[in-house]
Amino acid sequence: MKRILLIFVLLVSCSILFAQKVKVKKGIILVDKNKVAKIEKNDGIYKVSDLNDKVLFFAEATSTTIKGNKTNDLWLRFKGANGNVREIEQTKRIFSFSSEKIITKNLVVGPAAFFSASGINTSLLNDFFSKKDTPISDKIDSQYATIKDRHQKEDKIAEELKLYINKNAEVCLDKKIVGKILKKEEKNTSIASYLVVDLKDFPVAVAHFNTKPHLMTVLRGAKLKTFDKKEHTINEVYSSNAINEDKLANRIVKMLYANDYKIEEASDKYHSAANQKNKDAYNKALANSINIFDVEGYIIDKKGKKIEGIISIPYENIKAKMNPNSGISDMSNYGGFVNVKNAEGKIKSYKAKHGVIVFIGDRIFVGAHGVGDGNLGNSSGSELSLLGESQFFEVDYQTKAGYILHHPKSPQYYYIMLKGNDKAYYLGNKGFLKKKSKEKMEKLFNKALNCSSLKFSNYDTLSKKGMIKILDDYTSNCSK
């Protein structure tokens, strides 16, 4: 309720504040039909006097600073009878081509509310002009000074490079043509663009601008986008239909070279950056993948021979992982082979189905064919390995009789594989759409172990601890 009352009070206050009607009739300023002052225009400057012709101040609605720098904004500048200059933003903004109306509307509200229906607020008037304050001009002039400094640096570089635009709109470096500026105008509008291209028509930069002088200032300038997708402001105005004479076109070219956007090198830089970006993205995806990549180790091949080198086991297609919607088709048996790079840099592949064992530090990987795991998402199951391809499983535990394994793609599920066998059995309960039945799990248990001393009902086949217990009991009671 308090909030509603506060809003109501503010609305009433504002309505009272702006309710005062200001008009000018035959040089007389009227506030609510009461005569309060006189106003007279001379060369765009308005002299405001009291009704006895005593000069109070001079006023103008301007978009030009005291130093002559232009903007697209409009503000108010006052000069008191004592010579002090003050600037303020418009308190009451109105759309009008009449400076007189803009000025007088702002003389009843805000910091320059000198007039009311009661007359002239002399106290406020004297206080207002007791000091000089031109913050708007100061800010804009400072911006122009910065722009001027930057332009001087750009001009110096252009002079050293002998950079210019010829009559054919070609960009030249010491008479050598390196590119061209193409102009395009939108039909029935004042909107246009400059496209800077190299000799192979590679787009180096594009700028959009307005060809109407009064709609464009140096401060606002034109927006330029370079080939690296960065945006820049070109603080210059369009000045000529002849591109070689146009201030904006020449400033664009100078800005490009001053900021190391050399037209003749842009294409190579773009493709180099794109390649590096792709490489960085690939390396990041690789680092976040489950792939084993370029690590020292060794393998024991099917003949029992030890082969040392740099080991890689790709479990994922990195390019497909980077672009999951790319539709990349790859029939490679990821996880089914290991690459070994020797000292000479030669790479040789070994398949998991050949009984290869991989050693990387403390980690061991063995080749096996998954059984009962067709729904675990690691492409190692017998249901999915139609060509009989095996995969490399990581060893979690081993005895003289066998291994407890997991697949890197689904490390939460455990397998048992007996030595001398190439099949790794998943004895868990995950099945297709629903859990496996106890009967099916028991059947796989008996098939994997083939030992009457071990009863399925006595074991936990879901946890690592439970699977280790099974292997230990098998080793003690069933292995020779």
Confidence of residue 333 (pLDDT cuts 50, 70, 90): confident
Based on the domain organization, do 220 and 306 belong to the same domain? no
Distances (CA, A) of 240 to 247, 249, 409: 7, 9, 65
pLDDT score recorded for residue 385: 42
Number of domains in the chain: 3
Is the pLDDT at 459 greater than 60? The verdict is yes
**If you average pLDDT over residues 154-181, what whole number do you get?**
96
pLDDT score recorded for residue 292: 87
Residues paired with 164 in a beta bridge: 172
Express each pLDDT in 61-74 by its tens digit. 999 999 999 998 89
> How many Å apart are CA 195 and CA 183, to the nearest integer?
6
pLDDT score recorded for residue 52: 95
**If you average pLDDT over residues 113-136, what whole number do you get?**
95
Highest mean pLDDT pick, 29-43, 269-283, 423-437: 29-43
Based on the domain organization, do 117 and 238 belong to the same domain? no
Residue span of the structural domain in which 424 resides: 289-323+332-477
Residue type, 366: V
Based on the domain organization, do 203 and 169 belong to the same domain? yes
Based on the domain organization, do 216 and 302 belong to the same domain? no
- Residues near 174 by beta carbon (within 8 Å), at least 6 away in sequence: 161, 162
pLDDT score recorded for residue 213: 72
Is the pLDDT at 240 greater than 70? The verdict is yes
pLDDT score recorded for residue 220: 87
Based on the domain organization, do 244 and 181 belong to the same domain? yes
Confidence of residue 331 (pLDDT cuts 50, 70, 90): low
Residue 1 in domain: no
Residue 323 sits at φ, ψ, to 5 deg, of -125, 75
Is the pLDDT at 85 greater than 90? The verdict is yes
**If you average pLDDT over residues 187-194, what whole number do you get?**
91
| DSSP codes joined into one string, 43-100 | TTEEEEE-TT--EEEEEEEEEE-TT--EEEEEEEEEEETTS-EEEE--SS----S-HH
Domain boundary among 232, 250, 265: 265
For residue 452, count CB atoms less than 10 angstroms from its CB and return exposed for 0-12, middle for 13-18, buried for 19 or more: exposed
Least confidently predicted of 16-20, 166-170, 358-362, 393-397 = 16-20
Based on the domain organization, do 86 and 54 belong to the same domain? yes
> How many Å apart are CA 319 and CA 328, to the nearest integer?
8
Pairing type for strands 22-25 and 45-49 reads unpaired
**If you average pLDDT over residues 40-64, what whole number do you get?**
94
Say what percent of the chain tops pLDDT 90. 67
Residue 370 in domain: yes
Based on the domain organization, do 230 and 309 belong to the same domain? no
Structure tokens at 76: 């108010």
Residue 5 in domain: no
**If you average pLDDT over residues 335-339, what whole number do you get?**
92
Residue 282 in domain: no
Express each pLDDT in 295-311 by its tens digit. 999 999 989 999 999 99
